[in-house]
Homo-oligomer: A and B are copies of this chain.
Amino acid sequence: MKVHVPKKTLADTLAHVERIIPNRSSNPGLSLLRLELEPDGIVLSGSNMDIDIRARFTADVQGSGTYALPGHVFSQVIRSLPGDMVEFDFDDRELQISSDTFATRLQLSEPATSPELVFPDSFNGMLPADALARALESVRYAAAVADYQAVFRGVKLELGEDRTRVVATDGFRLAYYDLGVPSGLAGDIIVPARSVEELARMLDDGEARLHLGDGQLTVANGAIVVNLKLMEGAFPDYERVIPKNFPVSVTFPAKELAETVSRVAVMADKTANNRVDMFIKDGTMQVTAEGGYGRSQEALQVLQEGTDPEIALAYNARYLTDALASVKGDVRLQFSGASSSPSVVVDLNDSSYLAMVVPLRTG
């Protein structure tokens, strides 16, 4: 069984698969990459239990067969090859990899010891891949990292009849992003935040074809197909807690506020929620922070609107900068009044995005 393939094609595809395959695992089979020879191409697949990945690329193949190889060692060898073309020569026990002056004989494992993965044959949903990636990347930060209820460590996809929404929340902050288009699928699902990150990295352009199966969402984009295991549990009824009335709101460039908050927060007490205070009056927003080393403050001129003449609130600095990070131009920060009532961040150039931050309880 001989194969000839350009190194770049192979290395680019392998880079995606390698990210999924565990380097070490208590289940040694998981660290194996499955490689199948087809008449005019190669199919690579692997899994980390949460994500199954399958990638196909065109190659000059003589023969057929299914093989299992150590995923990370194989990737390291391919990345470091000296030539532009790679030759594979398989026998039952070894894969010989040759490129230019270099050759490796890599031990093969029994194919049956590698995960045998099942991917759907047909897809009945579709979203634009770049828009889906942007949506997922915009909200992922709001999911919890650990020590929270499981559903808070996931991103919810609301697959509706006329829109698709992705939402993440850890209970103290929330972000959603609306794709103005339906996916063709129907239902609400929760994908682990870690899987969302990997998916967003893989999505390129063109169509992201979708299939909703039993406990998993399958996404196909270009040469790559992934099965994402879904999370069980009830996602919180977040719409109920998004305030509708805002006695004060201010507008200004998102980047400017993010920099001010970061700068002022150098003095914030890291052991006390990294607290920064905001006081808004007469079109000026004062941002202050105080801790063991001293006190910082900065005044920003903002466009102030609303019925109340002033407002004073405190936030975890990191929650504010996270919420502002995906906003390119101007942002509107909307305050719902009472000190424990959430504030809302609106991207003035992209109404698809909304973020909510719960202020810190003070005094």
Which of A80, A259, A292: most chain B CB closer than 10 A? A80
Q: Which residues in B have their C-beta under 8 angstroms from that of A70? A: 293
Alpha-carbon gap, A81 to B81, bound state (A): 47
CB distance from A257 to the nearest CB of B (A): 12
**CB closest residue in chain B, given A96:** B294
Alpha-carbon gap, A82 to B260, bound state (A): 8
**CB closest residue in chain B, given A106:** B294
Say whether A293 contacts B81, CB under 8 Å.
no
Q: Does A262 contact B (CB under 8 A)?
A: yes
| From B107, B259, B264, contact of A294 by CB (8 A) | B107
Alpha-carbon gap, A300 to B76, bound state (A): 21
Task: Choose the segment among A97-105, A223-231, A326-334, A344-352 that binds chain B (4+ C-beta atoms closer than 8 Å).
Answer: A97-105
CB distance from A357 to the nearest CB of B (A): 21
Alpha-carbon gap, A314 to B300, bound state (A): 66
CB distance from A10 to the nearest CB of B (A): 15
| From B76, B82, B104, B260, contact of A102 by CB (8 A) | B260
Say whether A299 contacts B80, CB under 8 Å.
no
Give the size range of A's interface with the partner: 20 to 34
Say whether A295 contacts B104, CB under 8 Å.
yes
Number of copies: 2
Say whether A82 contacts B259, CB under 8 Å.
yes
| From B104, B107, B263, contact of A82 by CB (8 A) | B263
Say whether A266 contacts B76, CB under 8 Å.
yes
Say whether B266 contacts A80, CB under 8 Å.
yes
Q: Does A13 contact B (CB under 8 A)?
A: no
Q: Does A64 contact B (CB under 8 A)?
A: no
Q: Does A87 contact B (CB under 8 A)?
A: no
Q: Which residues in B have their C-beta under 8 angstroms from that of A299? A: 101
Say whether B266 contacts A94, CB under 8 Å.
no
Alpha-carbon gap, A200 to B292, bound state (A): 35
**CB closest residue in chain B, given A104:** B296
CB distance from A255 to the nearest CB of B (A): 12
Say whether B262 contacts A296, CB under 8 Å.
no
Chain A residues 208 to 267 lying within 8 A of chain B, measured CB to CB, are: 259-260, 262-264, 266-267
Q: Does A298 contact B (CB under 8 A)?
A: yes
- Going nearest first, the 6 A-B pairs with the smallest beta carbon separation are A80-B263, A104-B296, A106-B294, A102-B298, A76-B266, A73-B293
Q: A80-B259, A103-B298 are in contact. List 14 more A-B contacts (CB 8 A).
A: A80-B263, A80-B266, A82-B263, A101-B298, A101-B300, A102-B296, A103-B297, A104-B266, A104-B295, A105-B294, A105-B295, A106-B267, A106-B293, A107-B292
A-B contact pairs, 29 of them (CB 8 A): A70-B293, A73-B266, A73-B267, A73-B293, A76-B266, A77-B266, A80-B259, A80-B262, A80-B266, A82-B259, A82-B260, A82-B298, A101-B298, A101-B299, A102-B260, A102-B298, A103-B296, A103-B297, A103-B298, A104-B266, A104-B267, A104-B294, A104-B295, A104-B296, A104-B297, A105-B295, A106-B267, A106-B293, A106-B294
